[in-house]
A and B are shown apart, each in its own frame.
Chain A
Amino acid sequence: MSGFDLSGLTASFGGERVIGPLSLQVKEGERVALVGKSGAGKSTLISLIHQHVGGTSSLVPQDLGLVNALPVFHNVYMGQLDAHPTWYNTLTLMRPFSKDSAAVRALLKDLSMPEKIWMPTASLSGGQRQRVAIARAVFRKAGLLLADEPVSALDGPMSHLVMDLMSKRFPTSVVALHDVELALQYCTRIVGIQDGQIALDEYSERLTSADITPLY
């Protein structure tokens, strides 16, 4: 079960309400794009949803949360730390097992960066780092993806590749996007956020980019 039904979502910073109260219901199989201008509360909403659904989701936060000192492989492998006993994880830290490195390499190949597998994460470019965080989320194999601007640092073709991969690997997703065209192409449903409230909620096939522009 990867959908959720949340109501009464609110968040405040320094006594000022930035989100809600609002309700959001997402059915299994839906791919939701959160759109709206920066500061509208998309990131806050993503982390609110993550707090409520917790461990059943894969999160890609805006600051990525990578361990810079570790190579790409270990950052991706971290998505499955719960699947192995401690001794296995400790050995992997020193010398990865070939089946794990094969799995991670295959995933990185889909993100067209297999050659970076043993590079320290700190040495990667912004776009490469973003893809490592996405690979970690995919490797996690959760049913629900929560991602906050996951393709903001990627160029055109690469962002299509990544959006395509995410829509294939996750049955359900909620993705904050500022690129309206990407949202319409890869998501089934568009939720527009304005001043902490839902200002638009419609299936993508019934929308054109002109319908979304007023939100910005």
Chain B
Amino acid sequence: MFSSPTVRVSFLFVAIALVALVFADVAITAANPWKDLGRFFMGIVTPDFFSSEGVALALLRTVAFAFVGVALGGLCGFVLSLVYRNPAVRMFCAFIRAIHELFWALIFLQFFGFHPLTGVLAIAIPYAGIFAKVYSEIFEEADPTPGRLLPPGTGVVSAFLYTRIPDCWVQLRTYTAYRLECGLRSSAILGFVGLPTLGFFLESAFSQGHYSEAGAMLILFYVLIATMPLWVKPKLLPVYILGAPFFLGEGLPIVWGNVERFFTQDIIPSPLRNGEGMGGLMPWLGDVMATEALPGIWNTLVLTQIALVATGLIALLTFPLISNHFGGPVRRTGGHIFLVIARSTPEYILAYILLQLWGPSMLPAVVALALHNGGIIGHLIGRQSSAIDLRPDAATGFNRYTYELVPRVYRAFLAFLFYRWEIIMRETAILGILGIYTLGFYVDSAIQNIQFDRAMMLILVTALLNIGVDALGRFIRKKLALQTMPTC
């Protein structure tokens, strides 16, 4: 068994997670966690859809920000994908997508304030980087022969429109639709930093103990995402995209003096701002690293590694729920509903809810990350396992799981898991805003102390850490010859 490199790598990661568990702060600190959890579930089963007009408005704003942000990001990403071969463009895209939407929102909040532009750009910028990468991968996979057969003298645009776009169209559309779903989740959590989307209303409902109102919002959000194929139609898209900017809300006007001050003063490291020169910069940097960056990095890594293995466990445990090879239609439908809920709930919202119920520690974050990401991978692997044809006399039950299915889907499973490694880390960092001591916690504290120079430094560190993990994940996938499709 240990002769297989995939098994060895798996056990290595499990061992790392076990060591990390020793250092992690995992506990339930709330006085009465189960009672709170019970009240929350009571709220879910007794949703109050008419408590205030806030619910409808929250959903409208959430959809509007998602459409404008994803459309803008898609457009910019498409243009960037055409020149993605350029190493400078590649690096630029890797950098902008390594910074989480919430971090972008925190940055823009400092100088655009609560203007709709803050929310739009927070989604559009990282999405542009992701779109550029995936679109360019899709274009690269297209059959090059038709392009070679064109008569010489064919214009670049004509050649592109005839030989690339039609071949890639279905994939481009599928991926963009998937991103729109992600955009809805991103848009929802932007509310947690004060933009007028779902997260904002959810947070206020929670803090006042209005669990039925919170339950109604969550249920409507699931319905919104689950019914996307019904209301997002190609013919209606232009209407949505052109109409959405009018539903972003007024926000507050931009004070251009703030914009100028932010770039010329706020983000300049304080020793330079105070004229101490390079001599003062080094101790400042050392201080940021020692007191904030290093503890942040350590906690981010510890939490990421635990969450990664927990994600894998959840995925392996849940994929049989929707696989054709187990259970009847009733159990499969139940499995589908569970996985849809797990993967449609943004991990940030899940973590927020669990943190309210269980009190501050790494545990809510681990559970939230594992449920959300495990739900996504479990869904993909389950679908893949249904496509496997078993011989008629194949083993049943647990033996079928261990002998027939897991060995067949394991490589794909690892590919998805290592693909999501970087995504999990990006989320781990951001969960710090909720009070877990990952990098996001230190970024958020620096911003609250109006130390934007420190905050920017820490965001830069976070971005580099993400780029590093992304590269490592790609290296391992290449080393183990694991293939993934981009829609994950």
Contacts and interface: CB of A to CB of B under 8 A. Distances in A.
Interface in A58-88: 59, 61, 63-70, 74, 78-86
Interface stretch (B161-169, B196-204, B339-347): B161-169
Contacts of B155: 81-82, 85-86, 89
B161 A69 contact: no
A69 B167 contact: yes
A79 B151 contact: yes
B264 interface: no
Contacts of B150: 78, 81-82
B166 A65 contact: no
A90 interface: yes
B151 A80 contact: yes
A82 B155 CA distance: 7
A78 to B, nearest CB: 5
Interface in B142-186: 143, 145-146, 148-155, 157-159, 161-163, 166-167, 169-170
B53 to A, nearest CB: 43
Given A78-B146, A81-B150, A67 B157 contact: no
Contact of B162 (A59, A63, A74): A74
A65 B143 contact: yes
Contacts of B167: 67-69
A202 B47 CA distance: 88
A147 B364 CA distance: 65
Interface residues of B, number: 21
Nearest to A84: B158
Given A59-B149, A81-B151, A69 B162 contact: no
A79 B153 CA distance: 11
Interface string A46-68: 00000000110001010111111
Interface in A136-172: 136, 140, 142
Contacts of A66: 146
Contact of B145 (A61, A69, A79, A93): A61
Contacts, number: 70
Contacts of A64: 145
Given A65-B148, A66-B146, A90 B170 contact: no
Contacts of B157: 86, 89-90
Contacts of B154: 81-82
A43 to B, nearest CB: 13
A7 B164 CA distance: 36
A6 to B, nearest CB: 19
Nearest to B164: A67
A61 to B, nearest CB: 7
A90 B159 CA distance: 10
A79 B163 CA distance: 12
A66 B153 CA distance: 19
Contacts of B170: 69
B174 to A, nearest CB: 13
A47 B166 CA distance: 26
Nearest to B169: A69
Interface in A77-116: 78-86, 89-90, 93
Nearest to B156: A86
A89 B157 CA distance: 9
A169 B388 CA distance: 50
Given A61-B145, A63-B145, A78-B146, A93 B162 contact: yes
B143 A90 contact: no
A96 B150 CA distance: 19
Interface of B: 143, 145-146, 148-155, 157-159, 161-163, 166-167, 169-170
Which 4 pairs between the two chains have the least Cβ-Cβ distance?
A: A55-B152, A65-B145, A69-B166, A82-B153
28 contacts: A54-B152, A59-B149, A61-B145, A63-B145, A64-B145, A65-B149, A67-B162, A67-B163, A67-B166, A67-B167, A68-B167, A69-B166, A74-B162, A74-B166, A78-B146, A78-B150, A78-B163, A80-B151, A81-B150, A81-B155, A81-B158, A81-B162, A82-B154, A83-B151, A85-B155, A89-B157, A89-B162, A93-B161
Given A67-B163, A67-B166, A82-B155, 13 more contacts: A54-B152, A61-B149, A65-B146, A66-B146, A78-B146, A78-B163, A81-B151, A82-B151, A82-B152, A82-B153, A83-B151, A90-B158, A90-B161
